[in-house]
Structure 1
Amino acid sequence: MKEGYIFVARKGARDDGILHVQEAIERGAVAIVIDRNADVNVKSLKQITMITVPDGRTFISHASAKLSRDPSELMTIVAVTGTNGKTTVTHFIGQLLTMLGERVAVIGTTGLFMNGRKVNLDIPDMTTLPAEFLHPLLRKCVDAGITYVVMEASSLGLSTARLDHCNIDVGVFLNIGVDHYEEHGSKEAYIAAKKKLTTMARDLVVNSGDQQCVELVEGTNRPVHIFNDLLVAGMAVPYELYPAFLPGKHNRLNALAAVTVLHILGYNYLELLPLCNRLLLPEGRLQRLMVEDVTVFIDYAHTPDALQTVLASLAEESTGELITVFGCGGDRDRGKRPQMGKVAATYSSKVFITTDNPRNEEPSTIIEEILKGIDCESEKIDVVLDRRLAIQKAVCYAKNGDVVLIAGKGHEKTQQIGSKVLTFSDFDVAEAALRNKKK
């Protein structure tokens, strides 16, 4: 809160803005917005405008768009939702548009990219930006001559009105998996949050291979364009143009999702498919390291569906043993922990179970819940609480021809343990372990 700001006294999960109105006024607030009947205990309201609105989040979204002069109306906006794959698909769309000479920004989990280059701005590290950050950023994009913006639309972003006043041209539905149920309160609430995008976008792109995605768009009055591992915008992909070079079947599907988006934006999919040979996976998405004949992949897979998809692809394409290092985050969906344990044990020759971002939970408790899903010989499972040591052991264990998957954190450069946020990169640790292995 600074001089001249408006303070929205919204009720949160752990605090209430009403309790901080006096402090906001002392810091220079020129108006106070509240969204319920409440006694505001302040010393003086003579010089302060009080505004009552039906919903604080909706007001923030509306006001942010208006104060930024509705920048989303001046560009083509693509919003991608799905439990898994949002980051890869947004980057693929951005890369294809850049190849075609368009000026494009990509906004999401890995930050802001403008015309293929990462831009460091003082914005929250969130998948979908809050409206008060998003619309000023979109205005910066307009001023920079950007004509296309591709963004990730998380379920939490959709349910908390972050995109309510953003003019979305294309909404993309990739998949519906197990994640964020607890944060939404139920599976139904999670799916309802995703469904909100069907009412916000002009055109919808839907993975017809995911039944829940198909059900999500039933009854919509928007044009629906389907894709799957054989189709682009409902049209067959010629065998000779299939993007077979990309690692993992799921990434080839992600490429076809991106091609479908560009096709409905006016480009010919037959001319787009050859460009897929030049697509690069974003950081932390099946990011490959290789020394001699040992291959290590770093991947963000942190849900049962994502982990199964990645492991199934690697198992199909590798000739040696498949070794997996993973954990589960604390203060997040506990129900997925045994499921991920079962997936890892099913596809892997060896599993190193370790910490992810335990946050405020006891790491050993998280691992105990993961182990509940595993029913196999104990020799296959190795519990190593220290993530650095777990990665080092996995790389040391690997023989020529083996593949090591380090899953869960991907591009992240930190690890949160309790209240501490420590510098930590799976890629850097794996790279050092591979160098030491070569000596």
Structure 2
Amino acid sequence: MVLFLTELIKDWPCTVNGGKLRTVVTGITEDSSRVKKGYVFVARKGHENDGARYIEKAIEQGAKAIVIDRTDVIEIPGDIVVITVSDCTLFMSHASARLAGNPAERMKVIAVTGTNGKTTVTHFIGQLLKGYGNRVAVIGTTGIFFDGIKIDYDCPKMTTLPAEYLHPLLKKCNDENITHIVLEASSLGLSSNRLDHCEIDIGILLNIGTDHYEEHGGKSAYINAKKRLIRMAKTIIVNKDDEQCVQMVEKATVPLIYFGTDPSADVRVPELQMNPSIPGHYNRMNALAAISALLVLGYSLVDIVHHCSKLQLPEGRLQQLERDGVRVYVDYAHTPDALKAVLQTLSNSCYGKLITVFGCGGQRDKGKRAEMGELAVFYSSSVIVTSDNPRNEDPIAIISDIMEGFGGACSAIEAELDRKYAIRKAILCAAPGDIVLIAGKGHEKTQHTADGLFPFSDYEEAERALFEKTFLDIKEINIE
């Protein structure tokens, strides 16, 4: 879609100086390395970087207009249009949507938020809709899927995409006759206006946990970020069993649909027949959330429940490997609530030992570390604490924080800094009937350390360890 700069800023409160307003806009970005001829460069000031530092580079690469939200920036040449706005992130979402032709208006958009379960619920909704013959895109933590097939799309690996990537993607979906968009709405995505100007038909509130408090500056700011979805969606689906979610919608002015086990919930399915490979009460709740979305869209409850027996968990969510009687589960659980739910589920089906391997990410909520350590030792026969994604934080210090939750020395607990060897150690010591849980990274294919990003997959490491275990067991038998 070709737009003149005048059309892009029409009806948007701003001050304009310099340049030619009849300039054709070919794109918009806040990343100077993506600027091409005819682009608008948004010089946003972030937490760690200031876009104003890259204005000269953006102009050199062909930017015809600069968007700023303050006056203390470098002097900009007179032939460049300078647009001053009150909020760069809001303008970015507005301009990205308009440049793409507001594609969200032509599809049904379902946005899911919650501390835990967003990925599973979005994939469940996508699978149910596909079962009815709809063309569906699922966008979130594990990537972008068209009709259940992962596609390549040039964008950051973020739960909720920035507006400059999201709206062109939505246009691509619309061009390919996709009728339904199901996306994850993270607290950071909501608070930074990434989903503004994306028309949302259904919003889903799953739960509220303690993760991300530090990133937002406290519990109140975190909850307020989540509450933005209530004002953006036409209908809100709420977990009736989560008291915090119920409180969040007390003053909502849009239609509310409640799901859960509470007798007063609108959507309750006591006899829900799930795929036997999907265990756990929390996954039944995830399915109820997905069922609720289909009900709002007008589908019959009887038909929806029938389709639930075919649901499949997404990658890295209780992803199972089994060999010679040893079951290994790889799961993304990286919050106290998620880890507790997975441990409870596995401990109920474990006839031998439950061996847990986990760590905590660096530069994230430190308050959860000891709590997760306490949960791990409570439900597990033995625990190996290891590195997760330490980022720029000392991994030894993170492990120390986790082990405070054990309340003293314990023979069933050990620390192994190298995640690869921690996984190997857990699997090699497992016997038939035992379960090994590898928690925290799930689908991720990299390990983020102070030295950078390195290839690493929990699932692949578990596969290798299981193969090695089989080889060693055969060798022992032959020797005997």
Asked whether the two chains share a fold, i.e. TM above 0.5, the reply is yes
Q: Which amino acid aligns with 2:274?
A: P
Distance in 1, Cα, partners of 2:255 & 2:149: 33
- The alpha-carbon deviation at position 238 of structure 1 amounts to 4.8
- The alpha-carbon deviation at position 20 of structure 1 amounts to 2.0
Alignment length (residue pairs): 436
Distance in 2, Cα, partners of 1:15 & 1:242: 50
Distance in 2, Cα, partners of 1:56 & 1:231: 45
Residue of structure 1 aligned with 2:305, choices 273, 278, 301 = 273
Give a deviation string over 1:331-378, Cα, whole Å, max 9, x none.
111111111111111111100000001111111010011111112652
Distance in 1, Cα, partners of 2:436 & 2:206: 27
2:337 maps to which residue?
305
- The alpha-carbon deviation at position 36 of structure 1 amounts to 1.7
Distance in 2, Cα, partners of 1:40 & 1:432: 55
Q: Which amino acid aligns with 1:254?
A: N
Give a deviation string over 1:256-295, Cα, whole Å, max 9, x none.
1101110110001121112111111000000000012110
Give a deviation string over 1:96-124, Cα, whole Å, max 9, x none.
00011001000000110001111011111
1:35 maps to which residue?
69
User: Are residue 243 (structure 1) and residue 274 (structure 2) matched?
Assistant: yes
Give a deviation string over 1:222-272, Cα, whole Å, max 9, x none.
111111147797144252x44273212211111111011101100011211
- The alpha-carbon deviation at position 156 of structure 1 amounts to 0.1
1:12 maps to which residue?
46
1:138 maps to which residue?
170
Checking the alignment, whether the CA contact within 8 Å between 1:229 and 1:256 is kept in structure 2 is: no
Q: 1:170 to 1:208 in 2, by over 3 A?
A: same
Residue of structure 2 aligned with 1:219, choices 251, 256, 265 = 251
- The alpha-carbon deviation at position 432 of structure 1 amounts to 1.0
Q: Which amino acid aligns with 1:22?
A: E
Structure 1 spans left out of the alignment, 5+ residues: none
Residue of structure 1 aligned with 2:422, choices 390, 411, 414 = 390
SS of 2:294 mapped into structure 1: helix
Distance in 1, Cα, partners of 2:264 & 2:436: 33
- Aligned pairs for 1:138-217 within 5 A: 138-217=170-249
SS of 2:406 mapped into structure 1: coil
- The alpha-carbon deviation at position 315 of structure 1 amounts to 1.1
Give a deviation string over 1:177-215, Cα, whole Å, max 9, x none.
011111101111000000110000000111111100111
Residue of structure 1 aligned with 2:465, choices 410, 420, 433 = 433
Give a deviation string over 1:301-345, Cα, whole Å, max 9, x none.
001111011101111222221110000111111111111111111
SS of 1:318 mapped into structure 2: coil
Checking the alignment, whether the CA contact within 8 Å between 1:232 and 1:269 is kept in structure 2 is: no
Give a deviation string over 1:146-168, Cα, whole Å, max 9, x none.
00000000000000000011100
Q: TM-score, normalised by structure 1?
A: 0.97
Checking the alignment, whether the CA contact within 8 Å between 1:231 and 1:256 is kept in structure 2 is: no
Checking the alignment, whether the CA contact within 8 Å between 1:65 and 1:135 is kept in structure 2 is: yes
- The alpha-carbon deviation at position 130 of structure 1 amounts to 0.2
Q: Which amino acid aligns with 2:349?
A: E
Checking the alignment, whether the CA contact within 8 Å between 1:233 and 1:263 is kept in structure 2 is: no
Q: Which moved more, 1:397-406 or 1:243-252?
A: 243-252
1:365 maps to which residue?
397
1:403 maps to which residue?
435
TM-align CA RMSD: 1.4
User: Are residue 2 (structure 1) and residue 36 (structure 2) matched?
Assistant: yes
Structure 2 spans left out of the alignment, 5+ residues: 1-34, 472-480
Distance in 2, Cα, partners of 1:415 & 1:232: 44
2:324 maps to which residue?
292
SS of 2:405 mapped into structure 1: coil
Q: Which amino acid aligns with 2:75?
A: N
Larger radius of gyration: 2
User: Are residue 75 (structure 1) and residue 107 (structure 2) matched?
Assistant: yes
User: Are residue 262 (structure 1) and residue 294 (structure 2) matched?
Assistant: yes
Residue of structure 2 aligned with 1:351, choices 374, 383, 393 = 383
1:25 maps to which residue?
59
- The alpha-carbon deviation at position 40 of structure 1 amounts to 2.7
SS of 1:373 mapped into structure 2: helix
2:455 maps to which residue?
423
